[in-house]
């Protein structure tokens, strides 16, 4: 089965998690664990987010069909600057998603300044990945529900699906909104199993967040006891459809 990692990062982590990920580390982890494709974005709070996107683009250019870019743009930027960078990343650089990190930017999805992130995803036809869990209350999964209803044409991926502690809430959000997809990195194996049995493998994707966490996530998915057909969707096929990977 094809394995797609929908949540990889490149470069430094200014949030203080203590990681800096190189291109080589991403590729080595993919090779070691049989991952065919990774979707890569900068960590949040880059001092120069445009330059960080350019680095991701160069990485994708050097690894066609294997690495795809995603844009992480500060929701603190005004509408004009935000949309200019979102359009550049998706239309010019071929990026496959936008990312909103409510915790890093202290931007609950309910705040007026978060609206443009959902609007941009809808306009550009790419999923919006919303970090959930750590960083609550702005990162509470349920806060995405009103925006998912406001933009039913947008696909919203809840990264970390509540981060274990708010898993039940992420499931409520996904059960409430058919345009929400769950990516359960850092959750427990039984959370991933429960999500898949509840909302279906067509709305589940795999993410690692860190190269060193990739084998952990893959082992977790194997431990769910899901059927091979469901695993094939959760680990790759659903991501290929949701992120429109050609
Ligand atoms: Zn992440």
Decide if 141 contacts 161 (C-beta within 8 A). Answer: yes
117: CA distance to ligand 1 center in Å? 17
DSSP-derived letter for residue 235 is: I
227: CA distance to ligand 1 center in Å? 27
Provide the pLDDT for residue 131.
Answer: 98
DSSP conformation letters of 110-160: TSGGGHHHHHHHHHHT--EEEE-STTTTTT-GGGGHHHHHH-TTS-EEEEG
109: CA distance to ligand 1 center in Å? 17
8: CA distance to ligand 1 center in Å? 7
The phi and psi torsions of 72 (rounded to 5 degrees) equal -115, 100
7: CA distance to ligand 1 center in Å? 6
Provide the pLDDT for residue 16.
Answer: 64
Cα of 125 vs its chain's centroid, Å: 15
185: CA distance to ligand 1 center in Å? 9
52: CA distance to ligand 1 center in Å? 15
146: CA distance to ligand 1 center in Å? 23
Provide the pLDDT for residue 17.
Answer: 65
The CB density around residue 229, as the number of other CB atoms within 10 Å, is 11
**CATH number for the domain including 53?**
3.20.20.140
> Cis omega before residue 137 (within 30°)?
yes
Provide the pLDDT for residue 171.
Answer: 98
Range of the domain at 234: 4-242
The reported pTM is: 0.97
69: CA distance to ligand 1 center in Å? 14
Cα of 244 vs its chain's centroid, Å: 14
Provide the pLDDT for residue 88.
Answer: 98
Domain count, the chain: 1
Q: For the chain, list residues with pLDDT below 50.
A: none
């Amino acid at each position: 089965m094809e394995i797609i990692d929908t949540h990889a990062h490149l470069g430094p982590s200014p949030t203080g998690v203590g990681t800096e990920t190189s291109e080589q580390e991403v590729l080595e982890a993919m090779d070691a664990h049989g991952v065919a494709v990774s979707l890569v974005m900068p960590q949040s709070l880059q001092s120069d987010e445009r330059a960080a996107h350019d680095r991701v683009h160069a990485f994708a250019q050097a690894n066609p069909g294997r690495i795809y870019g995603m844009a992480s743009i500060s929701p603190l930027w005004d509408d004009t600057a935000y949309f200019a960078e979102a359009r550049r990343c998706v239309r010019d650089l071929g990026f496959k998603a936008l990312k909103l990190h409510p915790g890093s930017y202290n931007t609950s999805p309910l705040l007026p300044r978060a609206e443009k992130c959902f609007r941009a995803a809808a306009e550009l036809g790419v999923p919006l990945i919303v970090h959930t869990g750590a960083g609550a209350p702005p990162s509470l999964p349920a806060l995405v529900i009103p925006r998912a209803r406001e933009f039913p044409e947008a696909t919203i991926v809840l990264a970390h699906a509540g981060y274990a502690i708010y898993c039940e809430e992420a499931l409520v959000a996904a059960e409430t909104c058919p345009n929400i997809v769950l990516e359960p990195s850092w959750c427990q194996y039984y959370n991933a199993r429960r999500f898949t049995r509840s909302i279906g493998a067509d709305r589940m994707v795999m993410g690692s967040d860190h190269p060193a966490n990739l084998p952990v996530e893959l082992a977790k998915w194997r431990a769910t006891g899901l059927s091979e057909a469901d695993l094939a969707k959760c680990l790759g096929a659903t991501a290929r459809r949701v992120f429109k990977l050609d």
